[in-house]
Amino acid sequence: MFNNMQTSFKTPSFSFNNTSFTLKKPAPCSLKYHNDLWIYECLRYGLYAFSEDKQEALQQLGEEFAFLYDGLTHEPDEKQTPDAIELRDLLKSDVVKVKRI
């Protein structure tokens, strides 16, 4: 029924567990249903999450974002590759508020 369906959307935030990350401006993402999997992509941050359950795939997208943000923003430059530093700087620029809820 949904096979090969794809929808583009913009998300103003990501959340995982008790943390919400509010973005300066909504990030473009996409949702696709293919081969019985819901697939979320947010190419701006290189995020991909998928599951047979749509809500679980969305939760995984939030988890991936939280992992990236927490991992990259707390590491010193000398422990990161140039690509990681570039992504870290993008995350720091894009995230305007981190709120523990």
d(CA 76, CA 59): 28
The neighbouring-strand residues paired with 37 are: 34
Both structure tokens of 73? 């923003």
Asked whether the beta carbons of 67 and 59 are under 8 A apart, the reply is no
Condensed to tens digits (0 to 9), the pLDDT of residues 4-45 reads 678 999 999 999 999 999 999 999 999 999 999 999 999 999
Radius of gyration of the chain (CA): 14
Q: Which pTM value belongs to this model?
A: 0.91
Q: What is the pLDDT of residues 69-98, one digit of tens each?
A: 999 998 899 999 999 999 999 999 999 999
